[in-house]
Amino acid sequence: MMAGRRLFRSFLLRIHRFCLHTYPSWFRAAHGGAMIGTFEDLVTVTYERTGTFGVIRVAIAEFGSLLFRGMRERFSRPSPPPDHQPLSNGRRQHEINFRERNRMYTTNNFRYAFRSLVRTPGYTAAFVLTLGLGIGANTAIFSVINGVLLRPLPYPDADRIMYLEQVAAAGGTTNTSLSFVEVADYRTEATTLEEVVEFGDWTFNVLGRGEPHLTIAGLVTANFFQVLGLRPHLGRTLTEEDDSRASEPVAVLTYEYWVRMFGADSSVIGQTLDLTVKKATIVGVLEPGSHYASMRAQPVRSVLARGGASGQDFYANYPSNDHYMSASMQDERAHRMTSVFAKLRSGVTVEAARAEVDGIAANLHASYPESYPEGRGYEIVITPWRDLITQQARPMLLILFGTALFVLVIACANVANLTLTRLIRQERELAIRAALGAGLARIRGQLMAENLALSLAGATLGLVLAVTGLDLLVSYASRFTARTGEIGIDLFVLAFTLIIAVGAAMLFAWAPRLPFSQDLGASLTAAGGGRATGGVNRRRAQRALVVSQLAISFVLLVGAGLMTRSLIKLNRVDPGFDLENVMSMDMPDFSGQSQPQRFEFSRTLVGRVKQFPQVDAASMASGAPLQGRFVTPRAFGVEGRELLPNPPTPPTLLKFAGPDYFRTVGTTLLAGRTFESRDHAEAPRVAIINESMAKFYFPDRDPVGRRMATVRFNGALGPWATIVGVVADTKEAGLDREPVHTYFQALEQNFAQTTLLVRTKGDPLPVAGQVLEEVRALDPNRPVLDVQTLEQRRAASVAPQRLNATLFTVFAALALVIATVGIAGVLSFSVSQRTNEFGIRMTLGADQTKVLKMVLLEGATLAAVALGIGGAGALLLSRFLSGLLFEIQPTDPVTFFGVAALLTLVTIAASLAPARNATSVDPMKALRAE
């Protein structure tokens, strides 16, 4: 940790020193040391105050400022101000305000640069395009990183807001939430926590405001608003009186929901919001803001099919919800369902809070052993909210950023090569100007102005590209984090882009100095002889640049290849369902009807749908396949076998299914029977288990006919059910996961369910309209949502992987194109420089094939070196992708060899045109030129 921090610090200092070079040398001599010292102080203090991400923000702002001010200083005053020379009063003010002085100098530089660039449109276009692509990729990814990872959360004292999770690590549960009783204990006992907030994520069906519509709401205690610093735009937020059990339901709308559903009507205060079961009084509207408390990323939100909106629609007090107000929720320690936010007391560290809360938890475990069964490993985990909300996105974004940086490096290498080539061509002109007394500093200033103009043009193009691609990236990021509301091009992103552009310009201003090992002037004089000298150094530099481009392309292509191959494997996984021609739709019930009424609805609907000629089978169930929800660690008891004191709790999916469910989704029955209409509420309880579960609980016997029961959270067993069948395993929890235990219960012996599955003879979607009509006929108030075929569901379940593969492939392709252009450019240049040589060789009897071979060999050598370096690099780096791969090793030989073959082919193709040019050299012409 400390070592990492030191390394990072010295890395930042190095960049700082690099940035200082934008200032003229006299300025560096006068202030450089002090500036480094100041930067060190700044880094140290910021580390203590806000940690690594804070330092990154400050450092980027600092670097941007150095580059900008340095350039301004360099262009406005390339030489030190004369010492002790009295200035007139009139001039003095200008000195302080940076005006006028030497403006001519700067303008002239840029005017000259502009003229010279217009004369070489090819060079200008290649430079701007290449750099623009590199900068565009980086700016786009960086704006996402800035919005998701770097910016502090948009709440006051956001770094003091913590999220409390109760995990039962040994039970395999990452967050079991907390119960109201537990929250009350932590609230009274923890002195390190200033406020403890209860938060319940809930979906309400809102009636009476246009169509019935689903909303995301937060059930909160009054201090929620205080902790997040949310202020009312109209009316009030909640008060402590609203927290008591006896209080009336009240709601506070978010600004966005208020505008969307109420047309920003300020008379809403005091009106009622019909939550279907209860009615809440609207007491306030919040100021505009971002709402992340539910932490729902897009996959869950898309189920609600709301489009566009993000975060909560409104907040309500707990009395607005029957479920949370039930006696078992209110009084039982082990009925855990509420999420908890807490605010650290000012000046308290996270570690101190963790230590104190651990102590309180240990006391609770000792006092109420029945609520914390030993061996489950109950424990409270405190995480800064910002870390939690972004933790899923972080690795992916950092990998992408790394990839984008690689693309930038390739782009820079390519542009450096272009610059080098151009300078060689300009040698004569520059030499003449040097001879005429332009002066070294003057020439360098002009080169710098040229590079700066081009780099800034590239940055502008990059910004345009980034803005264009931003929507795509936001929808990408929203698959990993709820925090996408603040992604955009802000000043900070602009500073980042400016840093890259100016950094690149400086790099390219140095690139031409590579060949003239020490003194530009001396080389320029030497170049006066007539034709370009093209020293060994220079050619070596160009080749090194090409090799590095190819090598980095190799690494990126391997990344893209690995991701694509894993996606292919993922698409070939047998899910255990027959997905073809099956459709699912959700019709949540908020009517408050009795169970028998609900069953009646389901039976009638399924019966009518089955009458459609296109329909093969239909069934109600709890959720569609591949939704992967409701998997929880769970213990089961088997009749005739004693329950262990701490039974194992493997992750288990509980599912309720009607008759015909297995035929509808196409899951194979291995033993016994499926559910039938005789398994109704009065009949003996029955259950069906999947193969993994059968092997786990009945390793040596046939489970059919035996009885099982779940272990409830209070430790009791029940309800008992007879196992009537065993079905094949399915990939319910995700195609990339192992099958989990699945326990199916007969629908009518439990609760009514709301997902309808329909198997049809052809494409199922055209039938959806007819089904919808039947639903409307039975209950006009029912929303029908999320109509999808199971094949669409399958595609959606691998969408993150597909997006990853696509982005990687785009970057790799970009890299490959740039690198190919680079090789072709360097080889053509090398051929044009060697025209004489080829001419002589051909006069002396070399035939065309020989010359062709020479050039191709030059390309092949470059490729071979690049393949070696790139292969080694890819071997080193690909393991960072291992978390994103499915059934593919990061060192997958097929991918590596495939990429090597591709690169070799591309190199040969790129060498062909220059090689052909070499063979068409007319020996006589070449010799005459000599």
41 in contact with other proteins (CB under 8 A): yes
Burial class (CB in 10 A: 0-12, 13-18, 19+), 548: buried
Q: Considering only 42-50, 183-191, 206-214, 750-758, which stretch makes contact with other proteins by CB under 8 A?
A: 42-50
34 in contact with other proteins (CB under 8 A): yes
User: Closest approach of Cβ 27 to other proteins, in Å?
Assistant: 7
349 in contact with other proteins (CB under 8 A): no
How many Å apart are CA 408 and CA 405, to the nearest integer? 5
Q: Which of residues 257-286 bind other proteins (CB under 8 A)?
A: none
374 in contact with other proteins (CB under 8 A): no
C-alpha distances (whole Å) from 121 to each of 118, 126, 127, 322, 401 are 6, 8, 10, 72, 32
Residue from the set 11, 14, 25, 38 that interacts with other proteins by CB under 8 A? 38
Contacts of 446 (CB under 8 A, 6+ apart): 109, 112, 113
33 in contact with other proteins (CB under 8 A): yes
Number of residues that bind other proteins (CB under 8 A): 38
92 in contact with other proteins (CB under 8 A): yes
Strands (DSSP E) along 752-856, which ranges?
755-760, 785-789
Contacts of 457 (CB under 8 A, 6+ apart): 128, 132
How many Å apart are CA 215 and CA 295, to the nearest integer? 15
For 422-488, the DSSP string reads: HHHHHHHHHHHHHHTT--HHHHHHHHHHHHHHHHHHHHHHHHHHHHHHHHHHHHHHTTT-S--TT-S
User: Closest approach of Cβ 23 to other proteins, in Å?
Assistant: 9
45 in contact with other proteins (CB under 8 A): yes
95 in contact with other proteins (CB under 8 A): yes
Contacts of 115 (CB under 8 A, 6+ apart): none
How many Å apart are CA 452 and CA 459, to the nearest integer? 10
For 520-554, the DSSP string reads: HHHHHHHGGGSS----HHHHHHHHHHHHHHHHHHH
Helix (H, G, I), strand (E, B) or coil at 78: coil
21 in contact with other proteins (CB under 8 A): no
Torsion of CA 447, 449, 450, 451, to 10 degrees: 90
Q: Which is nearer to other proteins, 159 or 242 (CB)?
A: 159
C-alpha distances (whole Å) from 756 to each of 526, 575, 666 are 84, 20, 15
How many Å apart are CA 360 and CA 357, to the nearest integer? 5
CB atoms within 10 A of CB 766: 11
User: Closest approach of Cβ 827 to other proteins, in Å?
Assistant: 42
Residue from the set 29, 87, 522, 716 that interacts with other proteins by CB under 8 A? 87
27 in contact with other proteins (CB under 8 A): yes
Q: Which is nearer to other proteins, 86 or 308 (CB)?
A: 86
Q: Considering only 60-68, 129-137, 581-589, 660-668, which stretch makes contact with other proteins by CB under 8 A?
A: 60-68
User: Closest approach of Cβ 33 to other proteins, in Å?
Assistant: 4
441 in contact with other proteins (CB under 8 A): no
* CB 323 within 8 Å of CB 592: no
Q: Which is nearer to other proteins, 64 or 825 (CB)?
A: 64
C-alpha distances (whole Å) from 897 to each of 232, 557, 786, 870 are 62, 11, 43, 12
Helix 835-843 × helix 848-877 angle, to 10°: 130
Q: Which is nearer to other proteins, 38 or 677 (CB)?
A: 38
Q: Which of 456, 602, 444, 445 is nearest to 523 (CA)?
A: 444
How many Å apart are CA 303 and CA 623, to the nearest integer? 11
157 in contact with other proteins (CB under 8 A): no
Q: Considering only 41-49, 641-649, 774-782, 896-904, which stretch makes contact with other proteins by CB under 8 A?
A: 41-49
Residue from the set 5, 14, 31, 231 that interacts with other proteins by CB under 8 A? 31
Q: Considering only 94-102, 433-441, 550-558, 829-837, which stretch makes contact with other proteins by CB under 8 A?
A: 94-102
Q: Which is nearer to other proteins, 64 or 445 (CB)?
A: 64
42 in contact with other proteins (CB under 8 A): yes
Q: Which of residues 67-86 bind other proteins (CB under 8 A)?
A: 67-70, 72-73, 81, 86
- As given in the structure block, the two tokens for residue 264 are 């920003």
Q: Which is nearer to other proteins, 93 or 367 (CB)?
A: 93
User: Closest approach of Cβ 229 to other proteins, in Å?
Assistant: 16
Return the residue matching tokens 């999808």: 788
- As given in the structure block, the two tokens for residue 637 are 């008891």
55 in contact with other proteins (CB under 8 A): no
Q: Considering only 28-36, 543-551, 552-560, 765-773, which stretch makes contact with other proteins by CB under 8 A?
A: 28-36
89 in contact with other proteins (CB under 8 A): yes
827 in contact with other proteins (CB under 8 A): no
Q: Considering only 40-48, 110-118, 270-278, 366-374, which stretch makes contact with other proteins by CB under 8 A?
A: 40-48
Rg (CA), the chain: 35
712 in contact with other proteins (CB under 8 A): no
Q: Which is nearer to other proteins, 40 or 195 (CB)?
A: 40
How many Å apart are CA 867 and CA 872, to the nearest integer? 8
90 in contact with other proteins (CB under 8 A): yes
- Angle (CA) 571-798-764 rounded to 5° is 80
Q: Considering only 27-35, 528-536, 856-864, 875-883, which stretch makes contact with other proteins by CB under 8 A?
A: 27-35
96 in contact with other proteins (CB under 8 A): yes
Q: Which is nearer to other proteins, 68 or 401 (CB)?
A: 68
Residue from the set 25, 93, 391, 889 that interacts with other proteins by CB under 8 A? 93
Q: Which of residues 394-413 bind other proteins (CB under 8 A)?
A: none
CB atoms within 10 A of CB 351: 10
243 in contact with other proteins (CB under 8 A): no
Q: Which is nearer to other proteins, 90 or 270 (CB)?
A: 90
User: Closest approach of Cβ 501 to other proteins, in Å?
Assistant: 16
User: Closest approach of Cβ 231 to other proteins, in Å?
Assistant: 19
How many Å apart are CA 684 and CA 597, to the nearest integer? 21
Residue from the set 14, 29, 37, 349 that interacts with other proteins by CB under 8 A? 37
Q: Which is nearer to other proteins, 60 or 756 (CB)?
A: 60
User: Closest approach of Cβ 38 to other proteins, in Å?
Assistant: 4
User: Closest approach of Cβ 45 to other proteins, in Å?
Assistant: 6
36 in contact with other proteins (CB under 8 A): yes
Phi, psi of 156 (to 5 degrees): -65, 145
Residue from the set 11, 98, 751, 897 that interacts with other proteins by CB under 8 A? 98
Contacts of 771 (CB under 8 A, 6+ apart): 585, 609, 756, 758
51 in contact with other proteins (CB under 8 A): no
How many Å apart are CA 372 and CA 714, to the nearest integer? 10
* CB 746 within 8 Å of CB 687: yes
How many Å apart are CA 127 and CA 513, to the nearest integer? 18
How many Å apart are CA 38 and CA 53, to the nearest integer? 19
Separation of CA 873 from chain center = 24
322 in contact with other proteins (CB under 8 A): no
Q: Which is nearer to other proteins, 34 or 536 (CB)?
A: 34
Residue from the set 44, 52, 244, 475 that interacts with other proteins by CB under 8 A? 44
Helix (H, G, I), strand (E, B) or coil at 727: strand
354 in contact with other proteins (CB under 8 A): no
C-alpha distances (whole Å) from 491 to each of 33, 146, 403, 488, 498 are 28, 11, 23, 10, 10
Q: Which is nearer to other proteins, 46 or 619 (CB)?
A: 46
* CB 492 within 8 Å of CB 61: yes
User: Closest approach of Cβ 39 to other proteins, in Å?
Assistant: 6
* Interaction site with other proteins (CB under 8 A): 27, 30-31, 33-42, 44-45, 61-62, 64-70, 72-73, 81, 86-90, 92-93, 95-98
